[in-house]
């Protein structure tokens, strides 16, 4: 007779506790502990990817690498590393209403046109609702088969009965296994269903997309092991009131993890943006203080972004620090360096930092642009409209080298930004580029003097 076991699992971090608690001791989040009852069977044996598998030399010439499937969207293929690898398990996360289902329907139609039947499993919407969206997006196709089902057993049966080129599950939190007594979306159900889809994708060699919900912190809901199981993790980002959408790869076993795809949401669905730099700079104000342009590297592609800063007198006991599109800790570090090494006072000022256009920058190469934008707003002096800067700032105020400088400078010059301030140790890397004026600095004090001279 099967035994039952009751555990308490944190929905935020996946920690397993032996008793209920109002606060998780690991992630310190409140009201995230839920009770789960699992059925303990006598055996935990599970099917392997392939039956009777034998060891094969990794250099065997008889085993050819699989040919990637193209999604028909260059921006998506770039983030995936050149296309979809057959047998891969891909997890797509994003805020509600950001366009995850829209992207999946457009990809489903494109794959159906090129490679064959696509199974779209909808666990949250009825057949009529999904068809209405596909009709609006002009994504209807005879080879796109829609299945409205949430049972993993039924979904497995349909997958094994037919030969599909790709499978899309929307969403993984709506699917449940009858072997567990917990509700759909719980940690145990998400973990078990994701494991089953992993075995299916590897066993039959068909790529599977899993659409996942996100928490209030922006991370994919469910246990952290979900991101470890899959081959690729994609995040679909964007502000709900803006048309810009950004697809980022945070994990990819078959390509770079720093690629970015840019889309624009229209009435007919997502439209690819071929030139993100032009989009981010099209509304850049001229002659305004607190605005600096830098060339950021998103994977293999340089993208120009505008960093904006607003420094104003504070009427509060504790001045505000509001940051959008950058790491707030990095902004605090640059403010401390400017105060300590340059003698600039920000202690009584409200500071607001924004990366225009909804972009997000994580690399230290944006330090110099951020520092100059802050100083420009503090002094209320605008910088040259043809200036672009790049460089990392150390705690001693020194400018450090950055990688792939040539690509960054060439992208800036395409848009008429012919004057560049670069770290001293980068001298010689871009001298062969014609038509540009390059200034080199070893410290942030020198860079500020050059920028405002």
Give the tens place of pLDDT for each residue, 222-237. 667 788 899 999 999 8
The residue among 372, 370, 425, 366 whose CA lies nearest residue 398 is 425
The dihedral over CA atoms of 411, 412, 413, 419, expressed in degrees to the nearest 10, equals -150
* pLDDT tops 70 at residue 48: no
Q: Enumerate the β-bridge partners of residue 322.
A: 352
Question: What predicted TM-score, i.e. pTM, was given to this entire model?
Answer: 0.80
Closest to 139 in 3D by CA, of 170, 99, 110? 110
Structure tokens at 43: 């055996």
**Which residue(s) pair with 69 in the sheet?**
84
What pLDDT is recorded for position 431? Answer: 76
Residue that has been written with the tokens 């120009």 in this structure: 304
Q: In what order do the strands lie in the sheet with 208-212?
A: 144-147, 118-122, 166-170, 208-212, 89-94, 232-237, 244-252, 260-266, 269-272
Chain mean position to CA 190 = 21
pLDDT in tens, 35-45: 776 655 544 44
Give which of 399, 381, 380, 398 is closest to 389, Cα–Cα.
Answer: 399
Q: What letter does residue 362 receive in the DSSP assignment?
A: -
- Please state, rounded to an integer, the average pLDDT across all residues of the chain: 88
pLDDT for 300 equals 81
The tens digit of pLDDT for each residue in 347-402 reads 899 999 999 988 889 899 999 999 999 999 999 999 999 999 999 999 999 999 99
Share of the chain above pLDDT 70, in %: 92
Confidence (pLDDT) at 31: 79
Q: What angle in degrees, to the nearest 10, is found between the helix axes of 444-451 and 328-342?
A: 90
CA 168 vs CA 67, 173, 178, 226: distances in Å: 19, 13, 21, 16
| pLDDT top residue among 255 and 350 | 350
Q: What is the pLDDT of residues 260-289, one digit of tens each?
A: 899 999 999 999 998 899 888 888 888 899
């Amino acid at each position: 007779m099967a035994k039952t076991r009751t555990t308490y699992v944190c929905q935020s971090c996946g920690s397993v506790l032996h008793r209920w608690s109002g606060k998780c001791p690991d992630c310190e989040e409140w009201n995230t502990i839920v009770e789960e009852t699992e059925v303990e069977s006598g055996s935990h044996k599970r099917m392997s990817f392939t039956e009777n598998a034998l060891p094969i030399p990794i250099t065997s010439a008889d085993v050819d690498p699989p040919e990637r499937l193209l999604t028909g969207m260059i921006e998506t293929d770039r983030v995936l590393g050149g296309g979809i690898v057959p047998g891969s398990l891909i997890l797509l996360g994003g805020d509600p209403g950001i366009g995850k289902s829209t992207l999946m329907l457009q990809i489903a139609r494109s794959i159906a046109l090129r490679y064959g039947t696509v199974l779209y499993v909808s666990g949250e919407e009825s057949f009529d609702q999904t068809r209405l969206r596909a009709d609006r997006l002009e994504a209807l196709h005879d080879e796109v088969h829609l299945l409205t089902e949430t049972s993993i057993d039924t979904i497995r049966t349909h997958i094994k009965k037919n030969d599909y080129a790709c499978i899309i599950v929307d969403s993984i939190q709506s699917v449940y296994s009858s072997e567990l007594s917990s509700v759909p979306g719980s940690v145990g159900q998400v973990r078990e269903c994701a494991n089953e889809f992993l075995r299916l994708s590897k066993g039959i060699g068909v790529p599977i997309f899993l659409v996942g919900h996100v928490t209030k912190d922006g991370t994919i809901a469910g246990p952290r092991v979900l991101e470890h199981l899959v081959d690729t993790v994609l995040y679909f980002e964007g502000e709900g009131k803006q048309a810009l959408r950004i697809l980022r790869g945070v994990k990819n076993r078959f390509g770079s993890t720093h690629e970015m795809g840019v889309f624009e949401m229209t009435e007919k669905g997502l439209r690819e943006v071929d030139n993100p730099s032009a989009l981010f700079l099209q509304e850049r104000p001229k002659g305004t203080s607190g605005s600096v342009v830098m060339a950021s590297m998103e994977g293999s592609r340089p993208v120009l972004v505008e960093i904006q800063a607003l420094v104003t007198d504070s009427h509060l006991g504790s001045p505000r620090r509001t940051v959008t599109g950058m790491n707030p800790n990095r902004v605090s570090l640059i403010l401390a360096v400017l105060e300590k090494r340059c003698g600039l006072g920000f202690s009584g000022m409200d500071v607001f930092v924004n990366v225009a256009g909804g972009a997000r920058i994580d690399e230290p190469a944006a330090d110099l642009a951020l520092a100059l934008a802050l100083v420009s707003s503090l002094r209320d002096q605008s910088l040259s409209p043809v200036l672009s800067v790049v460089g990392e700032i150390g705690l001693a105020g020194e400018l450090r080298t950055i990688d792939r400088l040539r690509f960054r400078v060439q992208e800036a010059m395409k848009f008429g930004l012919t004057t560049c301030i670069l770290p001293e140790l980068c001298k010689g890397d871009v001298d062969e580029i014609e038509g540009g004026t390059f200034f080199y600095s070893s410290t942030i004090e020198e860079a500020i003097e050059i920028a405002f001279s």
